[in-house]
Amino acid sequence: MHRPRQFVIVALGIGQVLVWGSTYYLPAVLAKPTAQATGWPLTWIIGGLSLGLVLSGLVSPKVGNLIERRGGRPVLMASAVLTAIGLLGLAAAPNLTIYIAAWLILGVAMGAGLYDPAFATLGRLYGREARSAITSLTLIAGFASTVCWPLSAFLLQCFGWRGACVAYAALQVAVVLPVYGLGLPREARRERPLPQRSTAGAVRLARRSRSPLLFSLVALTQTLASMIAAIVSVHLLTTLQQRGVPLDTAVALGAIVGPCQVGARLLDLVFGRRIHPVWEALIASVFVAVGLGLLVQSYGAVWIGLVLYGGGIGLRSIVRGTLPLALFGANGYARLMGRLAFPMLVAQAAAPSLGAVLLQRRGADGIIAALFWLAVATLVSGALLIPFARPSSTTA
């Protein structure tokens, strides 16, 4: 069942916006009202997302295997159904135990429905030609918080936090499920990886796919980058305020990051084909490291730092999908993405709590210093991939 390439990308993009908004970005708006309405501890309400992310990491290798064998369509459709069930569980939760259980269901849904399964779907569909599709998808999905945070606030105001969860569940069933069903093609089942042509490049990629060292380096650089993004997304405003930035100014500065992510993805869409993902990963790491380093300076430097940081994180979200494709090839790509997602998602779950400890014990300067050195470590681990950035392994 053929589907035009742009049709597939738009379908995935719509799904990604609503899945991210219904899961990962949901507590940003609903956590505090939920605590106020129920009396449950705020730490546990937010902790539901962390537990869900841990479980999403645990199921990711299995998800990758399923996409490798059956294609992304049934897996992503199942993720929409699970997301709806989890959201209805949140809405109906009479106590904290059921609330946490609902987040565990959402954790499985996130493992089957966020970026990595979407990238794996594109890799299975388009092979080495998937790079531009991955960039286009991140460009659309980058608007998830822009769309869903105001939508969550509107639903909260109209229906309360439980009604907002029900509304998002309805969107999963009424929008995401049919969009995936109609927009993604059915694919033939594969029991074994497809054979690669016996070219020098194919032989090199086949050897790399069995290299524990290369896999570990890619996993390390991707996981460190995920930790940085998770800590900054949760603690940026608090960190700026501790450094004396008024709340309204901190919010305005924080708002710089989103457009810069989208801008970086647009630049990649135009110029990225000429750059190997290893070099793009290094550029992203330099931007993030320099940007974080500037956060300890005066107001005038902070906004420049956030521009650089936003651009680096925007590129990094693309590299998350294109770097493994370039280094290991399309054969077994979905399975590989599932394995790589495991440490990244577990790190994302743990990082905000680690950031909170740093912020409490070391203050704003301490957390910024830790983030800077994490960025340096990401740069160093990425630099170790330079020998593998050969023209024969670039993506189209």
Residue 379: the pLDDT is 94
Better-predicted residue by pLDDT, 390 or 218? 218
Parse the chain into domains and list their residue ranges.
5-183, 201-393
Residue 394: the pLDDT is 41
Residue 278: the pLDDT is 93
CATH dotted code for 5-183:
1.20.1250.20
DSSP code per residue over 281-309: HHHHHHHHHHHHHHTTS-HHHHHHHHHHH
CATH architecture of 201-393: Up-down Bundle (1.20)
Q: Taking all residues of the chain, what is their mean pLDDT, rounded to a whole number?
A: 86
Per-residue pLDDT at 218 exceeds 90: yes
Q: How confident is the model at residue 252 (pLDDT cuts 50, 70, 90)?
A: confident
Domains 5-183 and 201-393 share a fold: yes
Beta strands in 68-211 (DSSP E): none
Per-residue pLDDT at 193 exceeds 70: no
Residues, the chain, total? 396
Task: Check if the beta carbon of residue 55 is closer than 8 Å to that of residue 176.
Answer: no
Residue 371: the pLDDT is 92
Residue percentage of the chain with pLDDT more than 90:
43
The letter for the amino acid at 283 is I
In this structure, what DSSP letter does residue 24 have?
T
Alpha carbon distances (Å) from 166 to 135, 169, 212: 32, 5, 44
Q: CA 89 to CA 84: how far, in whole Å?
A: 9
Q: How confident is the model at residue 393 (pLDDT cuts 50, 70, 90)?
A: very low
Q: How confident is the model at residue 157 (pLDDT cuts 50, 70, 90)?
A: very high
Q: How confident is the model at residue 191 (pLDDT cuts 50, 70, 90)?
A: low
Average pLDDT over residues 39-67: 90
Residue 190: the pLDDT is 66
